[in-house]
Amino acid sequence: MNAVLDLTKLDRRFGIPNIARVCEGDGGLTRVDITSPLAYGGMYVHGAQVTSWRPAGSEEVLFLSSKSLWEEGQAIRGGIPLCFPWFRGKADDPHAPAHGFVRTRSWQLYSIVENNAGVAVTMFIESDEQTRRWWPAEFRLVHRVTFGSELKLELVCINTGKTPLHFEEALHTYNRIADVGTVRLQGLDGTRFLDNTDSNKEKTQLGNVTIASQTDNAFINTQNAVDLLDPKLRRRIRLQKANSSTTVVWNPWQEGARGLRDLGEGEWKQFLCVEASNIMGAAVTLAPGQEHTTSAVLSVARL
């Protein structure tokens, strides 16, 4: 009953009639639903994670696993998880949670505002005893997402402590596709990348990126837009980004998917992750009092 009362209070405080509401989502977790003339969207307080974006006149853009775990301490498989303050495993602690701790924690809802671009939902999380267990740093992390004809994500880190911060980050976008074996990614021809399936050896991309096996590549020194072309769905998903120096492309393929208990049978074929990020040599260093914003914009067009 208390949870229901809390949701009612949150919706009364933040909701916008017929546009945005705070409600109970999967697993009883708190979700913000957007139903504006420009787009439908969903965003959970758990991990400040976007799980749905469907611009008007388009199909769903984001993949969400049928077997996602909807519970505290577990990441949601699909949508756009936030990786922070490290990516993949923590270099000096193999027991630390993969991709950091913010994607498995509840955030605070700060505001829901309608503007010309759509509906902007802002959530934040701050350092506390739990975060210091893994990362002895003082910070405030803000995630602002605008649901409209485009999907804009802004991840802002503020160093609230007295010592420098050093962190990795990624907007781990699961793009929904018809068949990973038939899509191609344009915009990375001639770009160097580190192949995590081959001991992070440095290689150079030749032509379009196509997926024919397990793929986990970090393209370095990338600022330009990339286009994900899906001939079966007859659409293009474009990623534009700012203050992001690496672009990660990931699909576990069949063998990697076997080890993911929160991924449905054969669902590895239905997504390709293309991620605005700052990882490895592009990790960010922030002096006390400084802030850093990484942003990504997704847009969709017909082929």
Residue 44 has pLDDT above 50, yes or no: yes
Per DSSP, the three-state class of 81 is coil
DSSP letters, 202-261, are EEE--SSEE-SS-EEEEEES--S-EEEEETTTTEEEEEEEES--EEEEEE-HHHHHTT-T
Residue 2 has pLDDT above 70, yes or no: no
Contact between 245 and 220 (Cβ < 8 Å): yes
Q: Could you tell me the pTM of the whole model? A: 0.97
Distance, CA of 56 to CA of 36 (rounded, Å): 9
Tokens 């974006």 correspond to: 53
Q: What is the pLDDT of residue 215?
A: 98
What dotted CATH number matches 2-302?
A: 2.70.98.10
> For 297, phi and psi rounded to 5 degrees?
-125, 125
Angle at 103 between CA 98 and CA 104, to 5 degrees: 85
User: In the predicted model, what is the mean pLDDT of the chain?
Assistant: 96
Q: What is the pLDDT of residue 116?
A: 95
Q: What is the pLDDT of residue 68?
A: 97
**CB-based contacts of 129: which residues, under 8 Å, 6+ apart?**
none
pLDDT confidence of 183, banded at 50, 70, 90?
very high
Q: What is the pLDDT of residue 75?
A: 95
Q: Percent of the chain beyond pLDDT 90?
A: 96
pLDDT in tens, 78-134: 999 999 999 999 989 999 999 999 999 999 999 999 999 999 999 999 999 999 999
